[in-house]
Amino acid sequence: MQDLIKRYFWVLGVVVVVVCSVFAAKATGHILEALFLADSKTGPKVTPMARQAAPVKTKNKDGSQLESRNMFCSDCTPAEPEVVNTDPSSVHNTSLPLVLVATNVAPNEKDSYAAIINTDNQHQGAYSIGDKIPGASGVIKAIRFQYIEFENAGRLERLSLTGVTPPPPKPVAAVAKPTVSEDKDDLQAMIDSGIKKTGENTYEIDKSLVEKVLANPMAVAKGARVVPAVKNGKPDGFKLYAIRPSSAFAKLGLSNGDTLQAINGFELTSADKALEVYTKLREATSLEMEVTRRGKPVTLKYTIR
């Protein structure tokens, strides 16, 4: 073991030399960095900004501030008074029904354009310098970021981005709704003309009335109050109350207190049975309704044509 250590002891010396070299290189690098890459001892001259004096608010005791304030909106700012141009040589705002929607100002004036809408005829388009605006007698002379200037009636006029407020839409005449009689509507008229009594207990029904009732059965159901009847603790059809004289129930020969027992042999013992009868008899051409009236059975016959 001692011979092996003596034989390779020079390796330890090499490792020590390499480690020292690395540390020496790093130290040299830090020294050079401190000499050439360090911050400057004198910084750039900075000009201090002059502090602006706060505006002096003067109190006005004439009540104009209170008058201009909106008592219903604390965050709203009072509208600024419109500046009236009194200089006769300056450009006047146009009174034409035009709205300036947008402007595109290019380095070359010929490539600039403005989007304008005429609120009278709703004509709109993009116009360049030299183009004539619909409604004006002259052409566009200048296009700026906030406005355009054009000739009209021999003078120069200006149209700003705010434009003019479009006139309110013309009131559209209200379409008169067809007046419906208080006593008779369409369905009631069909009931009056679509149900005819041909005998003591026989009736004739117009097929168009049946189709109308099938399309909206709830409209006919309002003519009477229908409640399930019970006899000896068991369902026994449906009883009718509060039948209106002009309703389909009255026209079909039914009276207050009648109990519907069956239709074409199908017993009406429950709501499910009534719905089943309703679906089976949609295409029927004749009906026989069994009714109990004052304790006696009555048969009502209907023919659908």
For 81-127, write each residue's pLDDT tens digit: 544 444 445 678 888 888 888 888 888 888 888 888 888 887 778 88
Backbone angles phi, psi at 222, to 5 degrees: -75, -10
For 212-268, write each residue's pLDDT tens digit: 777 777 777 777 888 888 888 888 888 888 888 888 888 888 888 888 888 888 887
Is the pTM higher than 0.85? no
**What CA–CA distance (Å, rounded) separates 220 from 263?**
18
For 120-169, write each residue's pLDDT tens digit: 887 778 889 999 888 888 899 999 888 899 998 888 999 888 544 444 44
Where do the H-state alpha helices sit in 72-206? 186-194
Percent of all residues in the chain with a pLDDT value above 70, rounded to a whole number: 69
Supply the pLDDT for residue 140.
Answer: 92
To which H or E segment does residue 157 belong? strand 155-160
| Intrachain domains 92-160 and 186-304 with the same fold | no
Supply the pLDDT for residue 168.
Answer: 46
Contacts of 68 (CB under 8 A, 6+ apart): 78
Ranges 173-182, 201-210, 237-246: which has the least confidence: 173-182
Asked if CATH classification 3.20.20.140 holds for the domain at 186-304, the reply, yes or no, is no
Mean predicted confidence (pLDDT) in 22-32: 75
With beta carbons less than 8 A apart as the criterion, state whether 141 and 150 touch. yes
| Topology given in CATH for the domain delimited by 92-160 | SH3 type barrels. (2.30.30)
| Angle at the Cα of 261 from the Cα atoms of 288 and 297, rounded to 5 degrees | 75
Domain extent listing, the chain: 92-160, 186-304
